[in-house]
């Protein structure tokens, strides 16, 4: 009897090549719907799933593989006499390899304008069922959910001397359960996203994006994981050496710092200079270069070895202005090509393209044995001037209002206790992370004077 593979995929990448390799190795291919059609078109001989089950696909494809002749072939233990007898009694052919990936639910609900009905139709039922059956019986059934694993699997099948190792079988099965858990978490998140109050259970699916050289300190191992939300998963590094754990922390802090001015046009360039996750300089400017020069003037000493964040495209002139400063990372939503070429003159400088935007989802804080979660502070609330009240005897002038508006947007990124002095939409002194507001005030005034700024007349 030929070994049998069941192929049913939403993502068709590499499936034709895999099927051809299997056929060349003497396997027979069972397939469903669009996968079967793609294989036939490519000249691969296919047994349709209807021929196996004796039932046609029905209900617009909702029912295809939910059948004992499929799941019996997946769950039968080859060394178990009772299972072998059941296969013979019911005319079920064992299935030795399952290659399945699922309807693109997460990608579908991320698209604008998708209706609830459209989202529901992208909840895969048969695919997860086959994957879980095969993964449970991985000692006898190879199961593959990731197209990147196709070459590894073919190589193992070809290695007739050793066969497919128990270790590889277990690795692929574990990958399946991680995949289906993340899939279910995405569905749960979608169905509960508008529910009032806090859900009884929260499932967060994380995907490893990168192993890091080390963590906050050299003795700590570290890695970067991403959720399905917009953010770090959209990061594109254009040049420079590998990002570190601390680079990523500061990069995120920089995007938070310029977020109040995101999407407001190139005439409102915002630049934040970050050290140890807090701004040591932040300013607005008519151009990204002017914003940088004004942010740098906040505290030139602390800016050494910093991460610099922007809300607008970085041009060549801005890149040239940074030549004399040692910078770890520059992050912005876009870069002019000639700006990137200037930055590439410094091999270690990391240049990162990442949209600013406002952070979505809940805010999480790790504590021993659990997490605290809260709603994120939304910019539309923080920057809503209709909620502001004048508590002083004298109302601010128009110029003071402008600077207060800037300072209020900027101080949100400074670690508490936080005091920020501002003039002309630029910080001139920052006192961060003090246990006393009085000390934070003294520090902000001291730093302003240290850098040649006169704090008199600045807003606080």
Q: Three-class SS of residue 192?
A: helix
With a CB cutoff of 8 Å and minimum separation 6, the contacts of 316 are: 336, 338, 339, 342
Distance in angstroms (rounded) separating the CA atoms of residues 291 and 309: 11
- Closest-CA residue to 20 (of 45, 3, 1): 45
With a CB cutoff of 8 Å and minimum separation 6, the contacts of 459 are: 396, 400, 403, 404, 407, 421, 422, 423
> Which tokens go with 196?
């009032």
136 is catalytic: yes
> Which tokens go with 215?
């963590």
Query: Which of these is catalytic: 152, 175, 276, 346?
Result: 276
Question: Residue 220's Cα: distance from chain center in Å?
Answer: 22
With a CB cutoff of 8 Å and minimum separation 6, the contacts of 330 are: 307, 308, 309, 310, 314, 319, 322, 343, 349, 350, 351, 352
Query: Which of these is catalytic: 67, 136, 152, 175?
Result: 136
**Which regions of 73-181 does DSSP assign to beta strands (E)?**
97-101, 142-144
67 is catalytic: no
Burial 180-208 (b: 16+ CB within 10 A, else e): bebbebbbebbeeeeeeeeeeeeeebeee
Identify whether the C-beta of residue 170 lies closer than 8 Å to the C-beta of residue 138. yes
Rg of the chain, C-alpha, whole Å: 29
Identify whether the C-beta of residue 308 lies closer than 8 Å to the C-beta of residue 271. yes
Distance in angstroms (rounded) separating the CA atoms of residues 429 and 460: 9
Q: Read out DSSP for 72-89?
A: HHHH--TT-HHHHHHHHH
Parallel/antiparallel/unpaired status of strands 306-310 and 327-332: parallel
CA atoms within 13 A on the CB side of 196: 0
- Closest-CA residue to 297 (of 110, 207, 424): 424
Identify whether the C-beta of residue 375 lies closer than 8 Å to the C-beta of residue 363. yes
Catalytic residue ranges:
136, 276
């Amino acid at each position: 009897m030929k070994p049998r593979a069941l192929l049913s995929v939403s993502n068709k990448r590499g499936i034709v090549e895999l099927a051809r390799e299997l056929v060349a190795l003497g396997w027979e291919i069972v397939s469903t719907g669009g996968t079967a059609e793609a294989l036939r078109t490519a000249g691969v001989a296919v047994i349709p799933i209807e021929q196996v089950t004796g039932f046609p696909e029905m209900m617009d494809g909702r029912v295809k593989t939910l059948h004992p002749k499929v799941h019996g072939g997946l769950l039968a233990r080859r060394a178990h006499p009772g299972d072998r007898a059941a296969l013979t009694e019911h005319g079920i052919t064992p299935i030795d390899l399952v290659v399945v990936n699922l309807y693109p639910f997460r990608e579908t609900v991320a698209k604008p304008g998708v209706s609830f009905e459209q989202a529901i139709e992208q909840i895969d039922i048969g695919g997860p069922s086959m994957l879980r059956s095969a993964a449970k019986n991985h000692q006898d059934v190879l199961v593959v959910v990731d197209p990147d694993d196709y070459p590894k699997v073919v190589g193992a099948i070809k290695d007739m001397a050793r066969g497919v190792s128990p270790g590889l079988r277990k690795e692929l099965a574990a990958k399946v359960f991680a995949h289906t858990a993340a899939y279910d978490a995405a569905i749960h998140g979608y169905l509960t996203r508008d529910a009032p109050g806090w859900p009884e259970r929260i499932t967060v699916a994380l995907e490893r994006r990168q192993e890091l050289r080390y963590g906050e300190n050299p003795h700590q191992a570290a890695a970067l994981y991403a959720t399905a939300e917009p953010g770090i998963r959209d990061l594109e590094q254009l040049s420079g050496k590998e990002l570190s754990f601390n680079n990523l922390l500061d990069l995120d802090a920089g995007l938070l710092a310029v977020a109040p001015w995101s999407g407001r046009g190139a005439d409102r360039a915002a630049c934040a200079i970050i050290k140890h996750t807090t701004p040591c300089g932040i300013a607005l400017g008519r151009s990204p270069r002017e914003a940088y020069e004004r942010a740098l003037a906040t505290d030139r000493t602390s800016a050494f070895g910093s991460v610099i964040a922007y809300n607008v495209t970085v041009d060549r002139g801005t890149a040239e202005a940074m030549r004399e400063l040692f910078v770890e990372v520059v992050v912005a939503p876009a870069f002019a090509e000639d700006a990137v070429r200037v930055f590439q003159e410094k091999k270690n400088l990391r240049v990162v393209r990442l949209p600013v935007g406002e952070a979505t989802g809940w805010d999480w804080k790790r504590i021993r044995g659990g997490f605290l979660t809260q709603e994120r502070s939304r910019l539309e609330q923080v920057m809503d001037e209709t909620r502001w009240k004048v508590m002083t005897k004298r109302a601010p002038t128009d110029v003071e209002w402008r600077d207060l508006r800037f300072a209020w947007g900027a101080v949100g990124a400074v670690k508490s206790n936080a005091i920020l002095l501002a003039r002309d939409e630029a910080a001139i002194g920052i006192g961060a992370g003090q246990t006393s507001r009085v000390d934070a005030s003294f520090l902000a005034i001291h730093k302003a004077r240290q850098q040649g700024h006169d704090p008199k007349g600045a807003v606080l």
